[in-house]
Chains A and B, each alone.
Chain A
Amino acid sequence: MAVVTEMVKEMQGFNLHIVKTSKYKTNTIVWKMKAPLEREAVTERALLPHVLQSSSASHPTTAKLRSYLDNLYGASLFVDVAKKGEYQVISFSIEIANEKFLSDHTPLLEKAFELLSNIILKPNAANGTFDKDTVEKEKRTLKQRIQAVFDDKMRYSNFRLVQEMCEGEPYALPINGEIEAVDNITEKSLFEYYKQALSEDELDLFVIGDVEEAEVQKIASSLFSFQPRTPKQTTRSAVKKIDGAKEIKEQQDIKQGKLNIGYRTNTIYGDSDYSALQVFNGIFGGFSHSKLFHNVREKASLAYYAASRLESHKGLLMVMSGIEFKNYELAVKIINEQMEAMKAGDFTDNEIEQTKAVIENQILETIDTARGMVELLYHNVVAENKISIDDWLQGMRAATKEDIVKAAEKVELDTVYFLTGLEAGE
């Protein structure tokens, strides 16, 4: 039996994805809008979903909208803006109780759909402009959101690494936009952008829960209908030629140094050697049995965390660790040694098997949550692929040591970033 059965149907201007399952006590609806990351639009795109979710024509204040959600048995509504490779993806998610488990059996799913369509299609706007007050409030919150990255040093050092290593590429753009661009946005310019996004973005609707496919299709087609479009594509980022790795050190008044190292994997989601790269990352730094955890933390006692993760659609590998300032050279040396060991094939069959088992476990666990399932299925939309989760798992299991070493050989060091203290002990 397949681990996930996804039904995909082409609708008017969008794709509908349904996964019917009875394991949850709620139903989840996610609306996704995808467009290339571009400097001109990044800030408006970061602001837009927050303006839309704060009120609508039918519920023109946040308090009214939130009261309505509370009365729908605390339906949760939230928005998110994320980078998927060089795309900026907006998500609207609603999760609502399945009335089957309530003492009150009023049907809730259709109400959740109506609310979602009101938020997306009938905003609190008139004469081609959004409500001014709403936009001003959300602009203020967006500025605070942009600024918040400076106060969380783990996020900040990761943000700085990406900024340095992807300088000049769209991927370097901050996901919440640029603070200087916020003030220039008006309720009119944002409304124009909103119209443009609805007519040009690639649109996907996901529905996960104990639902009837025919009923969902009927509701979705009655509420959402758009002009057909050919979604804008980004070109696969040309392989960046690395001319010696960059080393960046920055000083701040902090107690723990943050070491972030970026590599180019030269392999992205959808490539035939992508599953070998995943296994590579698992052996190298993805888990608590990996080389980084074992050597940086358990053996050398240098850190509490030392891990790596992949940015699958962009082809990046990122290592992160928190260390004492004086241990910088030693930590970098140990991490480099682990990378060299990977390239030299210095890992056992046991490590490969262990890693595959844990990756499989991780994927199966992810699809136990509705949101995890949506994120996993959405990879195919971003990569324009049709690999089922089952096929993907099979490919991963089949990766050989030779495949893993080949994937490792393609990995190139790009930038070493260290956020250190003011009196950096070197």
Chain B
Amino acid sequence: MEKISFDQLQEELFYEKMDNGLDVYILPKKGFNKTYATFTTKYGSIDNHFNPPGKEDFVKVPDGIAHFLEHKLFEKEDGDVFQQFSRQGASANAFTSFTRTAYLFSSTSNVDKNLITLIDFVQDPYFTEKTVEKEKGIIGQEITMYDDNPDWRLYFGLIQNMYQHHPVKIDIAGTIDSIAAINKDMLYECYNTFYHPSNMLLFIVGPVDADQMMTMVRDNQSKKEYAAKSDIERRFEEEPTGVAETKQVMKMNVQTSKCLVGIKAPNTQLSGNEMLKTELSTNVMLDILFGKSSDNYTKLYGEGLIDETFSYDYTLEQGFGFAVLGGDTGEPDKLADQLKQMLFEGKEGKAFTEERLEQAKKKKIGAFMRAVNSPEYIANQFTRYTFNDMNLFDVVPTLENITLENVRDIAEQLISEDRLTVCQVVPKQS
């Protein structure tokens, strides 16, 4: 077991790679009641075209299958795992994103038992035709719930505008039609491809004894047999740099319009420090241009074009990335025009001053301190960073090193007419 210290933050992290390839991290947190653990596979909604182990050909699987699999892992021959967790005083959950599927629990008692329950249920799939069919009704209602949610529709509409081929444009839960095709054999095939321990990471944070926990995990894993690790081959079509559509307007049953502007990231084949620096510099740039202390925000709020729902965000993963900004508005076209204009003015660089840069960096450092109070944030973000060969605890030093030149370069590369798109939700009647 390896120990990694972070002196400034006064944290210690323990790490070990198991013989079967599983990465295990433990971050002891004194004073907390709760232990939180995530067991995550590097497998999400975008991984729909791959070569299953031992097969010759690549397969394409139905949209929404990673999320479907997440639901089905909770069901076992003798009932559902939620029951077992709650008997042990834990609350359990799971989520599927574009690139990850995470299973988790939190508990303030029976931590050892709960951890073993978590590992064992994820490593012991039980799929039958009957339970697969039953789940289609439940997930169908999850899909219709999102269909009625204008913010979700707007966000996915924007991604669909940006991407021509990349599967990030597929709704994570799929559609009622796409999930109808899912059967138990497909689930096993996905499971066998992506749930090998060498594609997974276990993160435990809470008032725990790292030595004892690590020994427990090691014992548990050594009893299970796995085939030797093999590289997972995924296939993605070539994605052009420009957007697929420059504008989309959706009519929905809403009273207030919504408008988002998206920018498709130009360079997404990044990992490690380069990726971390790009991600943080982009966030700093957006803060300088659109934060609540910016001239742009003051102008938009003052003119009544935005309200408190206005936000901006940057997502970057290997193979795709985008900046998103906007919110509710009375004048969606005017807001779209203004935001675009502000982006191009921003690119000219007048707003990028040392003073504004320092301010944005301080703000981000403080936000990071708040975030590391949260065991959920640490476990989920650490996992995401590690899957991209970055280290969560490099955030503050990397932020401190961002220069005006970095911010200017980012703006110069990112902001370009052919990578901009607009998505709006407007009221149906009128």
Name A's B-contacting residues (CB within 8 A). Answer: 3, 21-26, 61-64, 66-67, 69-76, 95-98, 101-103, 137, 140-141, 144-145, 147-148, 150-154, 252-256, 287-289, 293, 297-298, 301-305, 322-324, 350, 353-355, 357-358, 360-362, 364-365, 367-370
Judge whether B91 and A350 touch: CB under 8 Å.
Answer: no
Residue in contact with A144 in the complex, picked from B30, B253, B256, CB distance below 8 Å? B256
Whether a CB of chain A sits under 8 angstroms from the CB of B380 is no
Name B's A-contacting residues (CB within 8 A). Answer: 8-10, 29-34, 80, 82-83, 85-92, 106-109, 134-139, 141-142, 144-145, 147-150, 253-256, 291-295, 297-298, 301-302, 304, 307-309, 328, 359-360, 362-367, 369-370, 372-375, 400, 428
Alpha-carbon separation in the docked complex, A287 to B89 (Å): 11
Alpha-carbon separation in the docked complex, A145 to B150 (Å): 16
Judge whether B362 and A289 touch: CB under 8 Å.
Answer: no
Judge whether B141 and A324 touch: CB under 8 Å.
Answer: yes
Judge whether A322 and B138 touch: CB under 8 Å.
Answer: no
8 contacts between A and B (CB under 8 A): A97-B366, A148-B328, A151-B150, A289-B85, A357-B109, A365-B33, A365-B34, A368-B34
Judge whether A357 and B134 touch: CB under 8 Å.
Answer: no
Residue in contact with A153 in the complex, picked from B91, B148, B302, CB distance below 8 Å? B148
Having A73-B362, A322-B141, A361-B107, one finds 20 other A-B pairs with CB under 8 Å, namely: A63-B293, A63-B297, A69-B293, A97-B369, A97-B370, A101-B10, A137-B302, A144-B256, A150-B255, A256-B144, A256-B148, A302-B137, A304-B141, A350-B87, A357-B87, A358-B91, A361-B90, A364-B33, A364-B34, A369-B374
Return chain A residues, CB-CB under 8 Å to B135: 301
B5 CB to closest chain A CB, in angstroms? Answer: 14
Alpha-carbon separation in the docked complex, A367 to B363 (Å): 26
Return chain A residues, CB-CB under 8 Å to B360: 70
B153 CB to closest chain A CB, in angstroms? Answer: 11
Judge whether A148 and B366 touch: CB under 8 Å.
Answer: no
Judge whether B308 and A141 touch: CB under 8 Å.
Answer: yes
Alpha-carbon separation in the docked complex, A150 to B29 (Å): 42
Judge whether B33 and A322 touch: CB under 8 Å.
Answer: no
Judge whether B365 and A74 touch: CB under 8 Å.
Answer: yes
Alpha-carbon separation in the docked complex, A372 to B293 (Å): 28
Nearest neighbor of A358 in chain B, beta-carbon distance:
B86
Alpha-carbon separation in the docked complex, A365 to B369 (Å): 19
Return chain B residues, CB-CB under 8 Å to A253: 253, 428
Judge whether B82 and A289 touch: CB under 8 Å.
Answer: yes
A121 CB to closest chain B CB, in angstroms? Answer: 22
Judge whether B148 and A255 touch: CB under 8 Å.
Answer: yes
Alpha-carbon separation in the docked complex, A401 to B127 (Å): 37
Residue in contact with B254 in the complex, picked from A137, A150, A353, CB distance below 8 Å? A150
Q: Chain B CB within 10 Å — which of A303, A304, A355 has the most?
A: A304
Return chain A residues, CB-CB under 8 Å to B370: 25-26, 74, 76, 95, 97
A102 CB to closest chain B CB, in angstroms? Answer: 7
Judge whether A23 and B30 touch: CB under 8 Å.
Answer: yes
Alpha-carbon separation in the docked complex, A150 to B34 (Å): 37
Return chain A residues, CB-CB under 8 Å to B147: 255-256
A347 CB to closest chain B CB, in angstroms? Answer: 14
Alpha-carbon separation in the docked complex, A69 to B92 (Å): 36
A164 CB to closest chain B CB, in angstroms? Answer: 20
Return chain A residues, CB-CB under 8 Å to B256: 144, 147-148, 151
